[in-house]
Amino acid sequence: MRRELDNLVTQMHSSGVRYEDAVREFKKQYLREVLIANRGNQCKTADELGIHRNTLSRTMAELGLSLAEVRACLKRPPRSERPVYGAMVRPGFRQG
């Protein structure tokens, strides 16, 4: 992981990404990942990060990270987009 981070930092530097922009993107992506892991629950996310929930909420607002955006990735796809499996018979159930 250390090597991947070093490579990313090198790429960002050579591309001319400013420090403030790099830190902002890192924070935004990190918060998004922890929020997704906690299914959008801000209290659990803040606890895992070791910060107060209000601090998390304020930081999300500063970064333009909305909870609706996070929760959108958690929703199941509409029924029309779900894969259709043939008429399967579950073990232990009789057909007919």
- Report pTM: 0.70
Residue 4 forms part of a structural domain: no
Residue 2 forms part of a structural domain: no
Q: At 44, which CATH number?
A: 1.10.10
Name the domain count of the chain: 1
Residue 68 forms part of a structural domain: yes
CB 39 within 8 A of CB 2: no
CB-based contacts of 43, cutoff 8 Å, min separation 6: 53
Residue 5 forms part of a structural domain: no
Residue 52 has what DSSP assignment? -
pLDDT at 35: 95
Quote the domain boundaries for residue 62: 20-75
> How many H-runs (helices) and E-runs (strands) does the chain carry?
5, 0
Residue 89 forms part of a structural domain: no
Tell me the pLDDT tens digit for each residue of 17-74. 999 999 999 999 999 999 999 999 999 999 999 999 999 999 999 999 998 888 887 7
Residue 70 forms part of a structural domain: yes
Rounded to whole angstroms, the Cα distance separating 62 from 4 reads: 27
Residue 48 forms part of a structural domain: yes
Residue 31 forms part of a structural domain: yes
